């Protein structure tokens, strides 16, 4: 077995290396931004340009480390204390994971788990808003949050800031799940865990004597967590379980084959790697020769088009709860989010007629699609931007309106579309915060080229 490389982040001089890297990135960005007058997007400030480059460089440097070191680094994010926010760690009882696994294996007998290197407890954290409520509704809002990280990175720690922001705006609470990660625990263990958490919430989550039902729950996730959110909805439907009230996909990763045009066209306007896969230094987690032959840690290449791995390839996306999908116009994953919204809402017409959906099978899914101009992947973490503030507000408003309702028709922003057949609300949010309704979304050429009309 090859000797495991020691991470630069754990060396004595690691802090100095990181500091020099930041200085180098600052000087490079200043030169390009001010002297060469070049930037990834025309309206970006120097601050946005700099942080974008810092994130991009961080990801590139992390890819040179072992998987284990990268996982440790991301999970060591320091917890913060937020006003009117309470945090409580918990372990989801093992019985729920076992129930989910049995139900999943019965519903999907063709999917055999590859292996499990560690049967660790299913840990999570409640993040609860404790401040004054703005509305009169007493219906609790419970979010099951599934973090992003390409299915092999991320944790409660890495996403506590983002989820706290969402919880504060929605005035509810969120269960943030540390689902099992690849390559140690690849597909389908993440879905086992998300369904286990959902079953736990239905059975055991009550607050002050108020019983929690599926209609109090919103499932939400970013990037890989957004893909896992949609896969969880498909799994719940297959298992015959109650759907949640609604779901939100933040820059969802819905196509692990990278078949859409934006993945190849937006490489200069996103911080994600533009290659189909990310390689890491040799380590025990990927010592088997099979890892060198596959595109992703999460699933073998033979399963990349399975709907639970890449929900975009699900033939019937109808009958799901109301969805909010937010994508950045400059991100690699933009088009798969748009295509998913079109397919789910019954508005997908491809140049390849074989891909068109039979809308007679079930009621189409109501979808609110938002495209944010000049924004990269999961731009919500760039919280200083107007776009991030609007997107976070819309996530909260969407969940509140679907779960709690609103007093008058004039105050309704999202919920009106939820009762309409073939409903797709399409909005473009410009970098300055102005919002326009998209009159037409057209798919041309090879079936994956998106054209917008205002």
Question: Where do we find the tokens 């078949």?
Answer: 259
User: What are the backbone dihedrals phi and psi of residue 196, each rounded to the nearest 5 degrees, phi first?
Assistant: -60, -45
Interstrand relation of 210-211 and 217-222 (parallel, antiparallel or unpaired): unpaired
Q: How far is CA 350 from the centre of its chain?
A: 25
Residue 218 DSSP class: E
Q: Which residues are identified as catalytic? A: 223, 331, 377
Closest CA to 168 of 389, 405, 324, 375: 389
Three-class SS state of 107: helix
Task: Give how far Cα 400 sits from Cα of 397, 406, 418, Å.
Answer: 5, 8, 13
Closest CA to 147 of 129, 164, 130: 164
Closest CA to 337 of 248, 419, 413: 248
Residues 159, 113: Cα–Cα separation, whole Å: 27
Cβ atoms of residues 212 and 181 within 8 Å = no
Residue 281 DSSP class: B
**CA dihedral (204, 150, 74, 373) positive or negative:** negative
> What's the length of the chain?
454
Residues 29, 158: Cα–Cα separation, whole Å: 26
What is the distance in angstroms between the CA of the first residue and the CA of the last residue of the chain?
Answer: 58
Closest CA to 247 of 317, 178, 151: 317
Task: Give how far Cα 238 sits from Cα of 38, 242, 288, 320, Å.
Answer: 49, 10, 33, 11
Task: Give how far Cα 20 sits from Cα of 13, 54, 401, 407, 453, Å.
Answer: 11, 12, 47, 55, 45
| Cα maximum dimension of the chain | 66
Closest CA to 287 of 116, 67, 120: 67
Cβ atoms of residues 229 and 248 within 8 Å = yes
Closest CA to 285 of 297, 302, 268, 301: 297
């Amino acid at each position: 077995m090859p000797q495991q490389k020691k991470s630069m982040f754990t060396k004595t001089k690691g802090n100095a290396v990181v500091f020099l890297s930041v200085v180098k990135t600052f000087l490079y960005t200043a030169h390009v931004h001010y002297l060469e007058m070049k930037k990834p997007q025309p309206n970006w400030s120097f601050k946005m340009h700099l942080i974008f480059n810092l994130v991009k460089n961080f990801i590139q440097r992390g890819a040179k480390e072992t998987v284990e070191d990268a996982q440790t680094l991301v999970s060591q994010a320091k917890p913060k204390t937020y006003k009117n926010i309470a945090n409580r760690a918990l372990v989801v009882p093992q019985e729920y994971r076992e129930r989910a696994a049995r139900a999943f294996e019965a519903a999907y007998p063709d999917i055999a788990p590859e292996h499990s290197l560690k049967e660790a407890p299913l840990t999570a954290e409640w993040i609860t808003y404790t401040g004054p409520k703005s509305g009169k509704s007493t219906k609790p809002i419970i979010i099951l949050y599934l973090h992003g990280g390409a299915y092999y990175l991320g944790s409660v720690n890495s996403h506590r800031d983002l989820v706290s922001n969402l919880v504060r705006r929605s005035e509810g609470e969120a269960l943030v799940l540390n689902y099992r990660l690849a390559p140690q625990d690849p597909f389908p263990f993440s879905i086992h865990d998300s369904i286990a958490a959902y079953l736990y919430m239905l059975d055991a989550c009550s607050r002050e004597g108020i019983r929690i039902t599926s209609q109090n729950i919103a499932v939400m996730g970013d990037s890989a967590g957004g893909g896992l959110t949609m896969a969880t909805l498909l799994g719940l439907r297959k298992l015959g379980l109650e759907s949640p009230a609604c779901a939100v996909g933040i820059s969802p990763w819905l196509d692990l084959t990278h078949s859409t045009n934006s993945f190849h066209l937006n490489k200069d306007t996103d911080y994600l790697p533009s290659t189909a896969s990310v390689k890491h230094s040799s380590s025990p987690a990927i010592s088997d020769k099979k890892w060198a032959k596959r595109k992703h840690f999460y699933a073998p290449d033979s399963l990349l088009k399975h709907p639970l791995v890449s929900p975009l390839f699900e033939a019937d996306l109808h009958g799901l709860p109301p969805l909010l999908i937010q994508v950045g116009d400059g991100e690699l994953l933009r088009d798969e989010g748009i295509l998913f919204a079109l397919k789910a809402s019954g508005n997908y017409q491809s140049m390849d007629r074989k891909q068109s959906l039979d809308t007679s099978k079930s009621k189409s899914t109501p979808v609110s699609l938002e495209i944010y101009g000049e924004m990269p992947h999961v731009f919500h973490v760039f919280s200083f931007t107007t776009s991030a503030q609007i997107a976070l507000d819309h996530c909260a408003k969407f969940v509140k309106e679907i779960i709690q309702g609103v007093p008058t028709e004039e105050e309704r922003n999202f919920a009106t579309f939820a009762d309409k057949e073939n409903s797709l609300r399409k909005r473009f949010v410009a970098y300055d915060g102005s919002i326009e309704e998209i009159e037409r979304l057209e798919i041309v050429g090879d079936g994956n080229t998106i054209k917008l009309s205002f």
